[in-house]
Amino acid sequence: MGLFKKKETGCVFSGFEGQPLYEGEPAADAVLIRKYELFGRKGEDKTTSDEKGNFEFDSVFWEFTEPFITPTGFLVHQQIFVQYQNTETQIWGGAKVEPPELYEFNNQQPNNLVCEITAGAKRVSTGERGFIGTNCHWK
């Protein structure tokens, strides 16, 4: 018996489209930085909102091997930061606890996702066990 389970592929951060707002107005040319970590492996990508403030992230899939002895199992630490008007603000932070794509959105593609940079974060449940703190909301 080895120290690791079999190799699997899972979604460490689901893709989505959205719009950052600053005091209710689209934040054009905002830089969004997405960070994630699974079993000590770290990843990061970024995108810039267009002139209307729209942005898009693709889904990120990793092959991983879960250790047999892990207190949590599959657990991805997720963060998103926005750099806008010489300030960096975290708008997303939490844990993805299951590997299926869209799990952090309750297994549904988020519609009309907007993130008010100046708002405080709210807790959003993401399935049975997960949650995030975010300035974003969606339908």
> Residue 49 above 70 pLDDT?
yes
Second-level CATH architecture of 4-137: Sandwich (2.60)
d(CA 91, CA 87): 12
pTM score, whole prediction: 0.89
- The CA radius of gyration of the chain, in Å to the nearest whole number, is 16
Question: What's the pLDDT tens digit per position in 22-43?
Answer: 999 999 999 999 999 998 899 9
> Residue 1 above 80 pLDDT?
no
The torsion defined by the Cα of 32, 139, 95 and 5, in degrees rounded to 10, comes to: -110
Question: What's the pLDDT tens digit per position in 90-132?
Answer: 999 998 988 999 999 988 999 999 999 999 888 887 767 777 8
| 21 pLDDT tier (thresholds 50, 70, 90) | very high
d(CA 73, CA 89): 29
> Residue 3 above 60 pLDDT?
no
Averaged pLDDT for residues 14-21? 97
pLDDT at 65: 78
